[in-house]
Amino acid sequence: MTEPVTAMKPDREWIIRCPRLGGEVPFSYCEREAGDLPCRQVVRCWEAGFPVERYLRETLAPEAWERFCGQVPKDRMTTILDVVGAARQRKK
Ligand code: SF4
């Protein structure tokens, strides 16, 4: 019997330089920086090290994942497309 494929499990003691705090922090801090949610920058900060988005999607409760996605800042292009879409809706 084979086990389901899951995201790579990070070592919670992995260290990264935090652009917000200006010092080093472990992944365990980033994973719970917002109380029961990860820091909203966690994907941007950790994606070069391991598939962090996939890991979070698989480990957070569905409700927590939804709340996390709701607080992640949109990237610039998504924001621009949203503005263009809103402007088109107003013209109609
Ligand atoms: S995920 Fe948040 S707390 Fe962690 S290094 Fe990035 S900005 Fe800092």
Domain ranges of the chain: 15-91
Is 18's C-beta closer than 6 angstroms to any atom of ligand 1?
yes
What is the atom index within ligand 1 of the atom nearest the CA of 17?
5
Q: What is the pTM of this model?
A: 0.72
**Tens digits of per-residue pLDDT, 18-77?**
999 999 999 999 999 989 999 999 999 999 999 999 999 999 999 999 999 988 766 655
Catalogue the E-assigned strands of 1-92. 15-17, 24-26
pLDDT at position 9:
79
Alpha-carbon dihedral sign for residues 17, 70, 58, 77: negative
The answer to whether residue 2 scores a pLDDT higher than 60 is: no
Using CA atoms, how far apart are residues 32 and 18, in angstroms rounded to an integer? 14
Collapsing DSSP states into helix, strand and coil, what is residue 17? strand
What the block records as the tokens of 48 is: 């070069």
Residue 33, pLDDT score: 94
Does the C-beta of 62 come closer than 6 Å to ligand 1?
Answer: no
Which amino acid, one-letter code, is at 37?
Answer: L
| Residue 5: predicted pLDDT | 47
Q: Please state, in angstroms and rounded to a whole number, the distance separating the CA atoms of residues 81 and 35.
A: 31
